[in-house]
Amino acid sequence: QKEVEQDPGPLSVPEGAIVSLNCTYSNSAFQYFMWYRQYSRKGPELLMYTYSSGNKEDGRFTAQVDKSSKYISLFIRDSQPSDSATYLCAMRPRSSQGGSEKLVFGKGTKLTVNP
């Protein structure tokens, strides 16, 4: 079983739709959860960052973490064509100072928002 599973899609939605992206994971030591957005042939851009369980909201984006189910989600409200990109979940365990902060990534979900 892979440490992080993410449905690669592709996912195609109309403009204005609510988008739900998800990842599951198997390592209970993961404490930090991130969502990156990657446009074609560009570097991943940090979108959301959460620690442990709970919700975090930033504008049209909401990240949810359910550690009991080992399940994280990213919701995009009022989706726009500019949101069309690949969304990667990433996570890592807690590390001490000088320890590795290596992230484990999902394979990414390709999202297209149609005007």
Least distance from other proteins to the Cβ atom of residue 103, Å? 6
At 46, list the tokens.
């940090």
Calpha distance 98→28 (Å, rounded): 22
Least distance from other proteins to the Cβ atom of residue 93, Å? 9
Nearer to other proteins by C-beta: 1 or 102? Answer: 102
Note every long-range contact of 2-5, with CB atoms under 8 Å and residues 24 or more positions apart, other chains counting: 2/26, 3/27, 3/104, 4/89, 4/90, 4/91, 4/104, 4/105, 4/106, 5/106
Nearer to other proteins by C-beta: 17 or 67? Answer: 67
Which residue ranges make up the site for other proteins (CB under 8 A)?
31-32, 34, 36, 41-46, 49, 51, 88, 94-108
Nearer to other proteins by C-beta: 41 or 68? Answer: 41
Beta strands 61-66; 71-76: pairing state: antiparallel
Least distance from other proteins to the Cβ atom of residue 40, Å? 11
